[in-house]
Structure 1
Amino acid sequence: MPATTFRNFTHPTSGWLFGLGPAQLAIVIIASFPIWISLSNQRWAAVGIFTVVWGVVVVLTVVPLGGRSSTGWMIAAAAYAIASLAKWSVFSSRAERGLLHSLGDLDMPGVLAPIDILEGPPVGLDQRRMAVIKNTAARTWAITASIQHGGTAMSDEPELARFASALTELVDVAARGEMVEEIHLMVRATPDDCAERELWLREHITDTAPKTSVATNIELLRWGQAATRTETFLTLVIPETRLAREAKHLGGQLAGRMNTLTTIATEVDTVLTGAIGATDVAWLTSPELAAAVRTGFAPADRVSLIHATARHKKDQTVVTDVPWALAGPTHTTTAVRHYTHDAWHTITATLKLPEKGTTMGALGAVLFPSQAMERRSITVVFPIEKQSTADRKASQAEFTTSLGQGLRDRLGVRTGIKDRRNKDKIDQVETQLALGATLTHPYVVCSTTVPQTAPINEFGRRLDAAIRQAGFAPQRLDMSQDCAFVTANIPLGISLTRKGLL
C-alpha cells in the first residue's frame, strides 16, 4: 500500500452495545416492556402484536437511511416543515427591505446571523489587522488565511507522501497547544474570468493598434476560458472556553484573546510555509474577508472587484472594499435538495469514505467545473479531539468491540473479515494515541454553484458523478442545504458537527 493511501479511519462515535447509543438502547428496551408484561400474563395474541410493534420501533430507531435513522428523518422533516411554514427558511436582507442604516453591521442569513467580525492588533511591517470571527451562538472564535499553493496535480509519489506527512504535522501542531478545536481547509474552483488579463490588454495595447483588433482580443479572451482559477482558505476555530483560559496570561479580556489568536496564527504559519509548501500565507483582514464572503455567495462579483481595484490606482474615490452589510446575499431560499442565494443556486453533498481507503489528491477530480458557468467547492474539516477525550473514546470503542466479540464467541458466530479489520483499526488507534498522536475524524463537504438560469438538478447529478469517479460515495445533505452551503463555500468557520447551529 503506497504511503499516500489512507485507510485506517474509524467511526467518530461508537455505540455502547452492538453499535447502539444510549438513546437508541433506551428506546429499544422500553419498547420491549409490553412484550414481557404480556408474556407474564400469558396473553399470546398480545405478545404477537407487541412483538410486531417492537420490530417496527427497532427499525425506525436503528436502521439508517441516507445517513439518518427513520426517526431522525421524521424529526428533520418536521423541523423543515415548521421552518418553511413560518418563513424561517427565507431570508431578506435589510438592504432589500430598505432598512439598511449602517454599512458596518453584518446582515447574514441562517447560521451566519450570530457572526461578528472584529479587527485584531496591527502585526508585521505592513501593520495588517487580522480579521477575527466571533460566533456568539457557538461560542467560538476563528481566523482565516488565504493560501497560495501549487497543488498536487503534478506531484509524484514522494511529494504526495511529503504533503500527507505535512498535513498530519499541521493537525498535530494545532492540537499540541490544546487550543484549536477545528481546522477548515476550503478550495473554491471556478473557470478563470480573465479579469486580470483583460486589464493587462487594455493597458498594454497601444493606441496605434486597430480598435477592432483590441475588441476582438478581449472578446476572444472572454469566450476562450480554458483555465480554472482556485482559491484556498484555511480557517482555525477556537472555542471560547479554551481561549478565555489562555487570554488571562496575555493581557486578559479582548486584548488577551487577540494576542492569543495572533500567537496561534504564527505557529500554524510556520507549518504552512514549511512542510506543506505554501508559497504565500496571508491572514485575511476584515475587507479581504468580506470580499471572500461576497464572492462565496456571488462568484461573478469578483470581476467587478478586480476592476474597481484597478481603477482605484488612478482615481482614489473609487470604492474597492465590500461593506459587511452588503457582503451577504440579498435574498435566499432553502429548498429540500438545494439552496438559492440571489441569482445563484447550489447543491451540496458529503462523502462516504471507501473501505479500501483514499489517496492523497483524490479529491482533485471533484474540483473540475463541468462548464464555464459552474463553480465547484470542497471543504475538508478536521475536528480535533482533546487527548483525554480521545483516550476515553478509544477505550469505549475497544470495550464495545471486545464485548461484541465475546458475545459472538459464546454464540458460536463466525467473526467476519470486516469485524477483524475494525478490531485492527481500533488497536492501531490506541497504539498511536499512546505514542502522542492526535485523534481527528475529518469529513468532506462538496458543492456546485450555478446561475439560476441553469438546471441545478443536472449539475447536482454531475457533482455526484464526479464524486463517484474519484472513488467516493456521495450523500446529498437534504434539508440541511443552507448550513452545508456555508460550510462548503464561506470561510467563516461554520461546522456541521458543532451542536447549537441547527
Structure 2
Amino acid sequence: MTVHRYGDYTKDVSGWFLGMTGAQLALVTLAGVPALLALNAQAWGLFAGWLPVWALLAAVLLVPIRGRAAGRWLGDLCLHAIGGVMGWTVFGSRAAAGTAEDLSQADLPGVLAGIRTHDGPPYGQLFTRPVIVQDQAARTWAAVARVAHPGIGLAEPADRDRMGAGLAELCELAARTELVDILTLQVRTLPDDGAERTAWESAHAHPGAPTLAARVNALLSATLTPAAVRTEAFVTVVVGEGRIARAARESGGGVDGRARVLHSVMAEVEAALRGPVGCTAVTWLDSAGLAAAVRTGFAPGDRGQLVAADLAAASGQQLAAGLPMATAGPSTARAEMRHYAHDAWASVTDTVLLPDSGAVLGALAPVLVPTTAGERRCLTVFFHPLPLARATRLVGREEMSATTGNELRARMGFRQRARQRRDTERIGAADEKLAVGHALVRLSVAACATVPATWPVTEHGRRLDASVRAAGFVPLRLDLAQDSGFAAAAIPLGIGLPNRRGRR
C-alpha cells in the first residue's frame, strides 16, 4: 500500500537578495551608510561604535520571532494599543442595541464590517436564489455552498489520489476561468445538539412502547448526545471586482450582472465538486442559509434552536423560521491579544505552516478532533490560483534569487546545504509544471478552537497547538490579530487571505 505525499511547494514570499525583500534590503543598506562613511573617513571610533547599532537594526528588521520581525511586532503592538484606546477592539451589534434599520443587511465586526449581501437572480433548474456576498472593503463578490463529502478516512489509496487530483483540477479550472480569486474550503466539527434526533423521536414515538425500552432510549440519548460531534463543510468562491467588472457590464451591469457572471463560475465549480472531488451534495446557500451558517460560526450553541425551528416549520406548525442577516453576527465581541471573545464563547486561532517534508491527503484530520465534549474545531484552507503571467514572473524571480544566492555562497566558499538544493529543485519543478499548463496556487490554512467563555481558553489554545503538531504541521498563533483569524477560520465568507501589494 502506497500513499502519495504532497510536498511540491515553496515559500509564499521570496527575497530579492539573499532572502531579503526590497524594503528590507533598502533599510539595511541605509542603516549601514554611516558605518561606510566613517570607514571612508577613517573615523575608527565612530565605525566601531556604529557596527553594533547596525547589527541590532539588521536583527530587528530580519530575524523572525514567531513569524514576524521584531520591528513588525512593535508596530502591531502599537496598532493594537491604539485600537484598544479608541474602542475599535470592542463590537456591539445594532440589533442588540435596537438601532438596526434594515434587517437584511449584515452587521458584523472587524474585517467583516464591509460585508453586504444581495439576493441574486434565479439559478439552476430549481430556480433557487443563492445569496451574493459583497465585500466592500476588499472589492470582491462571493457565493457560498454547503457541501457533503463521504470523506477519505476509509478510502483506498487510489481513491485518495483520485480525489487529490480532482482538487488540483478544481484549482486549475479556477485559474483558467481568469475570474476566481480565491477558493476556500471550510470544515467545522461541532458538538451535536441532538435537534434532528429529538424531532425524529417526537415524530416516531409510539404511545404503547414498553417503559423499559423508552427509559433505555432516553438514557442513551442523554449519555451519547453530549459526546457526539457532527461535521459540516462549506466551499466559497470569491471573485474580484477588477476581474468581473467587464463581464458584468456585458451581462447587464449592477448586482444582477455580477450575479449572472458568478452563476457561470458556480456551475463550473459545482461540476468539479460533484465529479473528480467526489462531493455527494452541493447546495448554494440563500440568505437564510448563509445567515444561519454565519450565526453558528459565532455561536455554535444556537444551531439546535435554528434547526428545531426549521423542522417545526417544515412539519406545518405556525412558527417563524429563518434568521435575518442583521442578527447573524455576535451581540458583543472583543478582540484580546491572544484570543477572541464573542457573545458567550471564546476562540483561539492558529495559522498552520506547511512542513518541509510534505504531507499526505487528510493529514490535517487530527486538527478537527475536539479534545473534550463541547469544544468546536474549525479548519479553513484558502486556495488562490494565480494567473499564468503573474505565476511565471514569480517563479522567474524566485529562480533568479536562488541562483544569485547559490553563486554568492559558492564564491565565498560556503557549501550548499540540503535545504537550499531542495528549494532550488522545487523552483525548477514549478517552472516545468507551469510550462506544461499547470496552475500556481497560493495556499494558506487557519485552524480555530471555540469553547464557552467560562472555560480556560488558554488551555484549549495549547491543545489546538498540540493537535496541529500531532498532524505533522507547525502552528503559529495569530497574536494581536485573533479577530481577523477567527473570521478567516470559522466564518465561510472567503475572508482571510491577505492582498499582495494591493492586488487580488
Asked if Structure 1 and Structure 2 have the same fold, meaning a TM-score greater than 0.5 normalized by the shorter chain, the answer is yes
What's the CA shift for 1:266? 0.4
CA gap of 1:183–1:70, structure 2 versus 1, over 3 A, is: same
* 1: CA distance, partners of 2:65 / 2:466: 21
- 1:380 corresponds in structure 2 to 381
- 1:19 corresponds in structure 2 to 19
- 2:186 corresponds in structure 1 to 186
Q: Deviations over 1:413-457 (max 9, x none)?
A: 111111111110000000001111110121110010000121111
- 2:130 corresponds in structure 1 to 130
SS in 2 for 1:121: coil
* 2: CA distance, partners of 1:2 / 1:211: 53
Q: Deviations over 1:264-299 (max 9, x none)?
A: 000111110011111100111111011100000011
* 1: CA distance, partners of 2:96 / 2:130: 30
SS in 2 for 1:478: coil
SS in 1 for 2:450: strand
What's the CA shift for 1:219? 5.2
- Equivalent residues in 2 for 1:284-323, closer than 5 Å: 284-323=285-324
- 1:90 corresponds in structure 2 to 90
- AA aligned opposite 2:387: K
* 1: CA distance, partners of 2:273 / 2:482: 31
- Equivalent residues in 2 for 1:103-118, closer than 5 Å: 103-118=103-118
Q: Deviations over 1:450-481 (max 9, x none)?
A: 00121111111111111111111111110110
- Equivalent residues in 2 for 1:168-317, closer than 5 Å: 168-209=168-209, 214=214, 217-218=217-218, 220-225=220-225, 226-317=227-318
Moved more, 247-256 or 392-401: 247-256
- AA aligned opposite 1:317: Q
SS in 1 for 2:49: helix
* 2: CA distance, partners of 1:304 / 1:69: 46
Aligned-residue Cα RMSD (Å) equals 1.7
* 2: CA distance, partners of 1:103 / 1:422: 52
SS in 2 for 1:348: strand
- AA aligned opposite 1:77: L
* 2: CA distance, partners of 1:320 / 1:219: 30
- Equivalent residues in 2 for 1:486-497, closer than 5 Å: 486-497=487-498
Moved more, 404-413 or 339-348: 404-413
What's the CA shift for 1:208? 2.7
Q: Deviations over 1:345-364 (max 9, x none)?
A: 00000112111111100011
* 2: CA distance, partners of 1:73 / 1:84: 16
Determine whether 1:364 maps to 2:377: no
SS in 1 for 2:270: helix
What's the CA shift for 1:213? 6.2
Preserved CA contact (<8 Å) 1:198 1:221: no
What's the CA shift for 1:218? 3.8
What's the CA shift for 1:9? 0.7
What's the CA shift for 1:147? 0.4
Determine whether 1:461 maps to 2:459: no
- 1:436 corresponds in structure 2 to 437
Moved more, 358-367 or 121-130: 121-130
CA gap of 1:212–1:456, structure 2 versus 1, over 3 A, is: farther
Gap regions ≥5 residues in structure 1 = none
Q: Deviations over 1:322-345 (max 9, x none)?
A: 111111000001111100000000
* 2: CA distance, partners of 1:498 / 1:2: 38
Moved more, 174-183 or 93-102: 93-102
What's the CA shift for 1:212? 8.6
- 2:325 corresponds in structure 1 to 324
SS in 2 for 1:340: strand
- AA aligned opposite 1:347: V
What's the CA shift for 1:366? 1.0
- AA aligned opposite 2:188: R
SS in 1 for 2:442: coil
- 1:44 corresponds in structure 2 to 44
What's the CA shift for 1:316? 5.0
- 1:139 corresponds in structure 2 to 139
SS in 2 for 1:13: coil
- AA aligned opposite 1:244: A
- 2:54 corresponds in structure 1 to 54
Q: Deviations over 1:117-147 (max 9, x none)?
A: 0111112343210111000110001111100
CA gap of 1:248–1:345, structure 2 versus 1, over 3 A, is: same
What's the CA shift for 1:402? 0.8
Q: Deviations over 1:353-379 (max 9, x none)?
A: 111111100011111111221000000
Calculate percent identity across the aligned residue pairs: 40
Preserved CA contact (<8 Å) 1:483 1:496: no
Preserved CA contact (<8 Å) 1:104 1:325: yes
* 1: CA distance, partners of 2:305 / 2:255: 36
- 2:352 corresponds in structure 1 to 351
Preserved CA contact (<8 Å) 2:382 2:497: no
* 2: CA distance, partners of 1:448 / 1:352: 17
Preserved CA contact (<8 Å) 1:11 1:441: no
SS in 2 for 1:116: strand
CA gap of 1:199–1:241, structure 2 versus 1, over 3 A, is: same
* 2: CA distance, partners of 1:26 / 1:448: 40
- 1:162 corresponds in structure 2 to 162
What's the CA shift for 1:380? 0.5
* 1: CA distance, partners of 2:97 / 2:178: 44
CA gap of 1:138–1:64, structure 2 versus 1, over 3 A, is: same
* 2: CA distance, partners of 1:321 / 1:433: 47
- 1:475 corresponds in structure 2 to 476
What's the CA shift for 1:209? 3.6
What's the CA shift for 1:215? 6.7
- AA aligned opposite 1:309: D
CA gap of 1:219–1:92, structure 2 versus 1, over 3 A, is: farther
Moved more, 111-120 or 242-251: 242-251
Moved more, 246-255 or 284-293: 246-255
Moved more, 490-499 or 362-371: 490-499
- Equivalent residues in 2 for 1:22-33, closer than 5 Å: 22-33=22-33
* 1: CA distance, partners of 2:218 / 2:94: 38
SS in 2 for 1:224: helix
* 2: CA distance, partners of 1:304 / 1:216: 25
* 1: CA distance, partners of 2:77 / 2:149: 41
* 1: CA distance, partners of 2:215 / 2:91: 41
* 2: CA distance, partners of 1:130 / 1:69: 43
- AA aligned opposite 1:208: G
SS in 2 for 1:95: helix
What's the CA shift for 1:387? 0.9
* 2: CA distance, partners of 1:215 / 1:450: 31
CA gap of 1:80–1:450, structure 2 versus 1, over 3 A, is: same
What's the CA shift for 1:385? 1.0
- 2:78 corresponds in structure 1 to 78
What's the CA shift for 1:393? 0.5
Preserved CA contact (<8 Å) 2:349 2:489: yes
- 2:121 corresponds in structure 1 to 121
Preserved CA contact (<8 Å) 1:198 1:218: no
TM-score with structure 1 length normalisation?
Answer: 0.97
Show structure 1 runs of 4+ deviating over 4 A. 210-216
Preserved CA contact (<8 Å) 2:105 2:117: no
